[in-house]
Amino acid sequence: MSNYNVLLISEQKLIENTAINGTSVDTSELRFCIAQSQVIFLQESLGTNLFNKILDLVDTGDISLPVNVNYKNLLDGWIQPMLISYAYYIALDNFFVKWSAVGLVQNRTEQGGSVDLKTLQYLKQNAKNQAEFNDNLLRRQLIWNVSLYPEYSLITNNGDLPPEPNTPFKSSMTLPSRGWYASRNGWLEMSGCDIPSWYNYNGLPKK
């Protein structure tokens, strides 16, 4: 089971890399946004097995050992930028309204009024676009370097999520998935996989 207490980015890292004002934000709310982005978005991209592997390595501190350099590079170079984007995306909703004794109320500050719904939707779409772009980079890294992360291609039948190799962009565009797809029976080869010639596809990605 995924450990909700292990965060792959810190609250401070999220503040430093987004428009969040760290002087007036409850860090417990940021922790919730980070945890949600990990469980909802990151787990889908990594698959439960690799997701739990990364969490365990961070939890024990073994992520910094030389033997785990591939996982550390994945965390620093691809996972963290993706999580920063998705945590900010989730935070926009959480900071737009708050629960109070009388129900949901819209946030207002002494420095200015709160944004309207149309502005929030605009900000959400921009944040989503950036998050999906970073997610796409992460999935490409995993696909073309699958041998570096054994848990990525390990499919179990105990209810764990298999990794999602397709692009997170919700459009007609698709991301080539090495000619393979995850199923309950493991990784199966796709037939008639239409992959652009610039991927130099010949059954497996070229190294």
pLDDT, tens digit, 9 for 90 and up, residues 4-44: 689 999 999 999 998 887 666 777 888 989 999 999 999 99
Question: Can you list the alpha helix ranges (DSSP code H) found in the chain?
Answer: 11-16, 27-37, 43-46, 48-60, 69-74, 80-94, 117-144
Residue 96, pLDDT above cutoff 70? no
β-strand pairing of 186-189 with 97-100: unpaired
Whole-Å CA distances, 90 to 71, 123, 132, 139: 25, 11, 13, 20
How many other CB atoms sit within 10 Å of the CB of residue 13? 17
Region 73-80: what's the mean pLDDT? 97
List Cβ neighbours of 25 (8 Å cut-off, separation of 6 or more).
Answer: 15, 95
**Helix or strand run (H / E) with residue 183:** strand 180-183
Region 185-194: what's the mean pLDDT? 52
How many other CB atoms sit within 10 Å of the CB of residue 192? 5
202: tokens are 């010949």
State the greatest distance between any 2 C-alpha atoms of the chain, in Å, as a whole number.
62
Cα distance between residue 42 and residue 4, in whole Å: 13
pTM: 0.74
Whole-Å CA distances, 169 to 47, 86, 119: 18, 13, 22
Contact 177, 183 (CB under 8 A): no
Contact 8, 55 (CB under 8 A): yes
